[in-house]
């Protein structure tokens, strides 16, 4: 294998596929990337056996086609260190990859291509296209609520539901829930899939800055595949049945608060400074026309603040994880936030009055 390429042409796909490679691997081959040259196209593949990323780029000279695997971190660091717009010659000889640019020369050890695993995608049960920008919004609005290392392993993944022309994402850790949908697809079927956290993170990177670029989504019973521009992501799915999340979304809350989102968020951030570092609890006090916030900690320190809001209901004291409140208010982008309460033992529903496609639920804490 022998080819010539510009530094920038290879650096970007290297950064893309290297993100899936873990620094500590039980199998040495998983620390490597697969490089394959055919005609004027170079493809790079990285995998951890659960998630696979393939990125493609153009060479400006190919003297010999072939495949090789090389250490991901080392080749990435080499290309990062080269000068801007550098021209690079890559040549495989005697089982090593020789890289030359100007007066710089290096050689990397390789491992056999036959040892490199691939994530096999079965025939697709569901396919649809979605704009990268729309998919990114769905992921941004929901993935923050994913559980981390929960024994209920389906909570560690993002639920993606497809029904007709609608695709919905749902994430929860059992104490908070986020859901959002887009109605811009033509799937023609009703299915649901659970994407693991790492797959969600790589999918978010794939559509970062994609804007109007098209993302081709394919789902089988065990895998999801997303293709955007010159990059293809394949990830295993979580084999589980997701619980009925709609039962966790409260309805008919008779205590409705509408306030300035940024003012409420900033007041919570100040109050949170003196909250209990372990439980992160804050007490909200609803009174006509105002929302009070109170926090204290075991050192007998305390903070409180009041924000003017639209509210004309009965008084209510209720406790929440202040981190969950702040994070949700950060995800919301509108000027106002609407909060619906029922009583001190029921969850709060948060929405943006200008975004009917998304809603957020936070369970209360004991005061």
Q: 225 lies in a domain?
A: yes
What mean pLDDT comes out for the span 264-292? 97
Do 232 and 335 belong to one domain? no
Q: Which of 190, 216, 246 is the last residue in one of the domains? A: 246
List the domain range (segments joined by +) for residue 187. Answer: 126-246
Indicate whether 254 and 356 sit together in one domain. yes
241 and 142 within one domain: yes
Q: Record the tokens describing residue 320, joined without a space.
A: 């929440």
135 and 193 share one domain: yes
Do 278 and 259 reside in the same domain of the chain? Answer: yes
| pLDDT (average), residues 321-337 | 98
In a domain, 337, yes or no: yes
Do residue 136 and residue 242 come from a single domain? yes
Residue 10: which pLDDT band, with cuts at 50, 70 and 90? very high
Residue 36 has pLDDT above 90, yes or no: yes
- Of 98-107, 160-169, 204-213, 220-229, least confident by mean pLDDT is 204-213
Tell whether 120 is covered by a domain.
no
173 with 272, same domain? Answer: no
pLDDT digits (tens, 9 = 90+) for 281-290: 999 999 999 9
Domain endpoint, select from 85, 115, 145:
115
Same structural domain, 262 and 343: yes
CATH assignment at residue 101 = 3.10.150.10
Asked whether residue 181 is assigned to any structural domain, the reply reads yes
Beta-bridge partners for 159: 170, 194
| Pairing relationship of beta strands 255-260 and 32-38 according to DSSP bridges | unpaired
Q: What is the mean pLDDT of residues 241-250?
A: 96
pLDDT tens figures, 158-191: 999 998 889 999 999 999 999 999 987 887 778 9
**Dist. CA 159–CA 170, nearest whole Å:** 5
Tell whether 240 is covered by a domain.
yes
So what's the pLDDT on residue 336? 98
DSSP state at residue 95: T
96-144 pLDDT, tens digit per residue, is 999 999 999 999 999 999 999 998 888 888 999 999 999 999 999 999 9
36: how many CB neighbours lie within 10 A of its CB? Answer: 18
User: What percentage of residues in the chain have a pLDDT greater than 90?
Assistant: 88
| Residue 161 counted as domain residue | yes
65: helix, coil or strand?
coil
Instruction: Give the closest residue to 54 by CA, choosing from 65, 63, 44.
Output: 44
The reply to whether 311 falls in a domain is yes
From 54, 83, 115, the end of a domain falls on: 115
Distance CA 354, CA 122 (A): 40
Q: Is residue 29 domain-shared with residue 106, that is, in the same domain?
A: yes
Closest listed residue to residue 105, CA positions, set 117, 118, 85, 89: 89
Q: For residues 232-249, give the mean pLDDT.
A: 96
Tell me how many domains the chain contains: 3
Provide the mean pLDDT of the chain.
95
Domain membership flag for residue 121: no
Question: In terms of domains, do 95 and 193 share one?
Answer: no
Residues 88, 140: one domain? no
Residue 299 CB: number of other CB atoms within 10 A? 9
Q: Are residues 134 and 241 in the same domain?
A: yes
Q: State the pLDDT confidence band at 26, using cuts at 50, 70 and 90.
A: confident
* Residue whose entry in the numeric block shows the structure tokens 């650096």: 11
């Amino acid at each position: 294998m022998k080819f010539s390429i510009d530094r920038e042409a290879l650096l970007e796909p290297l950064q893309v596929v290297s993100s899936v490679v873990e620094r500590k691997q039980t199998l040495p081959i998983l620390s490597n990337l697969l490089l394959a040259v055919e005609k004027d196209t170079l493809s790079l593949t990285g995998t951890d056996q659960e998630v696979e990323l393939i990125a493609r780029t153009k060479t400006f000279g190919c003297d010999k086609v072939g495949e090789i695997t090389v250490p991901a971190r080392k080749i990435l660091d080499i290309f990062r260190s080269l000068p801007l717009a550098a021209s690079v010659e890559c040549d495989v000889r005697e089982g090593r990859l020789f890289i030359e640019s100007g007066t710089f020369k290096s050689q990397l050890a390789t491992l056999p291509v036959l040892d490199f695993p691939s994530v096999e995608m079965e025939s697709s049960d569901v396919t649809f296209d979605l704009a990268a920008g729309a998919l990114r919004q769905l992921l941004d609005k929901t993935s923050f609520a994913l559980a981390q290392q929960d024994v209920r392993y389906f909570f560690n993944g993002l639920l993606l539901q497809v029904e007709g022309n609608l695709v919905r994402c749902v994430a929860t850790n059992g104490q908070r829930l986020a859901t959002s949908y887009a109605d811009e697809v033509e799937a023609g079927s009703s299915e649901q899939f659970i994407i693991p956290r790492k797959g969600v993170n790589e999918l978010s990177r794939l559509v970062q800055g994609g804007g109007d670029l098209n993302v081709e989504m394919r789902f089988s019973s065990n895998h999801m595949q997303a293709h955007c521009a010159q990059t293809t992501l394949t990830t295993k799915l979580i084999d589980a049945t997701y619980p009925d999340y709609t039962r966790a979304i409260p309805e008919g809350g008779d205590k409705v608060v509408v306030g300035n989102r940024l003012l409420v968020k900033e007041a919570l951030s100040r109050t949170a400074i003196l909250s209990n570092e372990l439980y992160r609890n804050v007490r909200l006090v609803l009174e006509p026309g105002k929302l009070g916030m109170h926090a204290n900690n075991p050192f007998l320190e305390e903070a409180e603040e009041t924000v003017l809001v639209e509210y004309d209901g009965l008084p209510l004291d209720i406790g929440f994880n202040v981190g969950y409140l702040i994070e949700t208010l950060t995800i919301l982008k509108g000027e106002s936030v609407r909060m619906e309460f029922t009583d001190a033992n029921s969850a709060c529903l948060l929405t943006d009055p200008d975004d009917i496609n998304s809603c957020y639920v936070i369970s209360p804490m004991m005061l």
